[in-house]
Amino acid sequence: MSNISAKEMEVVERFIIIGEYFEALELIDIMIKWENLDNLDLLKVKLNQVNVFLDLGRYKEGLKAIKEIITDSQKSGFREIELSSLIIQSKLLIYTGRFKESLDNLLKIELKFDTNLKKETTSSKTLRVRFLRLKGVCYRATGENELAESSMRESLKIAEELENELEISKTLDRLALMINPKDTEEALKLLKRSLIIRKEIGNKYLLGQTMNRLGIVYLRKGMLDESLAYYIRGLEYTKSYGNKDFQAIINMNIGTIYENQGKLNKSLENYIKSLNFSREVDNKSMISASLYNISAIYRQRGELDKALEYQEECLVEFKQLNYPNGIAASLHNIGIINYHKGNLNEADNFLKRSLSIREEAKNHIGSAASTFYLIQMSLDQGLLDDAKHYLNKLEIIKNKTENKLVGQQHSISEALLLKNSARIPKKAKAEELLRNVIESDIIDHEITTLAYLHLSDLLLEELKLTGENEVLEEIKVLTDQLFEISKNQQSSSLMAETLWLKSQLFLISMELNEAKHLLTQAQLIAEEKDLKRLALKISTEYDKLHNQMNKWQTLMKQDVPLAERLAITDIDNLLIRMIKREEITLLEHEIEDPIFLVILNKDGQTLFTHRFSTLSKLDGALIGGFVAAINSFASEILRAPGNIERIKHQEYNLIIKAHEKMLFTYVYKGQSYSALSKLNNFVELIRTTKLVWEALDEAVEKPFSLNEIIETTLIKKADLIFVTNG
């Protein structure tokens, strides 16, 4: 009978420990083919093979192999091999997102420890370390956080008694994410200890896992750049192993950073990568998480049909996982998306289903969230009794939990009922409740934002009644504060919408140039952060104001009353849209007609001109008029680098952008939505074309004609941006 020596087995296990997985597999394949191999040794070799499959993310192969090992070990009476196999099977179930099935499996295994193992040995204690660690992971996934942490701490205690550095590092890594999320320093301490161990071991796959977890903790600390750096290093460490499941996790985490930074396209790109990797390994937990996040990005971008499509698919995955918390969250989100789309009956149905699951699970915070939206929808439909019923429910939850977020939800909900009354004392009480939320700590920025918007709406009602400029100034202060919150929270959509709201307030004050400037800034933010629908809507508002400037200037000369100015604006509808986060509906967009491009220096001397189409016989007069119009704004624009101005000359529109010591102007006819982004893209394109930029920079100081090569290059790039891309 051929047996494997302890030294040969040690070589395989050493390869696995240091992360030389492919070398380990080569040796394992050779050993499995040995003739007359002892059954116990064969099972040990196969167990090592499954351990390699685990770290390489080859879960389907692992699950198939482990079933055979469990059957063979049970037939042969190898109790420790059986226990080890069952634990590995539970780990494989976790890695494929089947947490409840894994936990059920682990609870059955627990009974086998005392009956199968007559005495505690080093190897049996090591099995207990792994068992407790996996149990902790499952408890965390099912929301039993206290049990999760206690299991993990017990696992760490036994691993330290054994002085098993590898098992210590594995438990430290898991424990770091299970302690209170606010204890970031404690989490970092645990992970850095693990990192030292793993660097000594030299296993790059395990190092990548720790880097990933360090990224999670730095994200909790709000240190996004540090977090992203750890995620990227983690990905670099592990790419060579081809573990698609781990790549799915890291890509999702990178997507979260980009989402927090407002880089929605990059975020979406990483979430989709995560989804594709997760589907390849059939990790349903990660599939559902990716779908959930993709839906959230489309919702932020205002693409509600796509948001709904991905959230519905997410619901299917959560149902297959039989994960009640996930099902409830998905039903809640489908309800909210339908609410934003104006489908109130559908929204009501999904939110009630979500509430039912959350109440049954005694998930008070989740129940409060669903109830909070049901109150708003009841009021939108004029169902006052229903709103009062849900407010009573919310009050019970508030009293039961004493949770600050629930308290704020209750205050806003009570304020909304009072706000609907015609009685002045009730409106005053509503104002008081909303101010209390605003003056409290920000628990959830969406809740605080709602308080600001509803208070602004109340003050707007007062403004209509009184016409007092003091009330208008108070609303301006509120929008200034809201804009600061949006910046701190890096909420790009809220930043853009708040600037849009501020522009309407300045319009009421007859500060026309400031109103135009704020709309331009709002559009630029929306464009930069991939909020295309919002950018187009704001651009349409700008064009509307741009075309009505003569009318507004006449009103300013006539000094019309504030109430009359207020009636002309669309501020009411804008506030309602922001409060309800209604879907942006767009008319078909016309592409502008490019006419002329000019680059000038600070003294108004022309460096480059390009005509996109043939003008009439008034070429000279028109071009002269364009240049005169540009020069009239030149000094003001150059004082504020990066400033952009849009002006009208006859039936033409001009966008002027200052960059360093140059003025770039694009002349066009029609709508301005794409014109602004095209001019920005053109400036960026030539700025990164070193030869062209250096020639322009030199011409700024010592005006001279650009040579033919530079001229030709500029013309080609201008046509590419303004004509081809149009």
Give the tens place of pLDDT for each residue, 592-611. Answer: 889 889 888 877 788 898 98
- Lowest mean pLDDT, pick from 1-10, 545-554, 670-679: 1-10
Taking residues 254-270, what's their average pLDDT?
91
In this predicted structure, what is the pLDDT of residue 261? Answer: 84
CATH code 1.25.40.10 region(s) in the chain: 1-118
Q: What is the dihedral of CA 92, 98, 99, 105, to 10 degrees?
A: -70
Helix (H, G, I), strand (E, B) or coil at 173: helix
Cβ neighbors of 621 (< 8 A, separation 6 or more) are: none
- Decide: 296 and 308 in contact? Cβ < 8 Å: no
Taking residues 412-440, what's their average pLDDT?
93
- Decide: 654 and 647 in contact? Cβ < 8 Å: yes
pLDDT at 553 over 90: no
In this predicted structure, what is the pLDDT of residue 682? Answer: 92
In Å, what is the CA distance from 689 to each residue of 431, 693, 703, 723?
Answer: 56, 6, 20, 19
In this predicted structure, what is the pLDDT of residue 639? Answer: 52
> 120-173, pLDDT tens digit by residue?
788 888 988 998 999 898 888 877 888 999 999 999 999 999 999 999 999 999
- What stretch of H or E contains 260? helix 244-260
Can you name the CATH fold of 593-724? Beta-Lactamase (3.30.450)
649 — pLDDT class (breaks 50, 70, 90): confident
617 — pLDDT class (breaks 50, 70, 90): very low
Helical segments of 96-203, H only:
99-116, 122-141, 145-162, 165-176, 184-201
CA angle, 169 then 171 then 173, to 5°: 70
- Decide: 353 and 337 in contact? Cβ < 8 Å: no
Taking residues 554-583, what's their average pLDDT?
87
> 394-417, pLDDT tens digit by residue?
999 999 998 999 999 999 999 999
CA angle, 536 then 537 then 538, to 5°: 90
CATH code 3.30.450.50 region(s) in the chain: 593-724
CA angle, 324 then 326 then 332, to 5°: 100
In this predicted structure, what is the pLDDT of residue 635? Answer: 56
Q: Calculate what percentage of the chain has a pLDDT beyond 90.
A: 49
- Decide: 63 and 94 in contact? Cβ < 8 Å: no
Can you name the CATH fold of 1-118? 1.25.40
The DSSP output letter for 583 is P
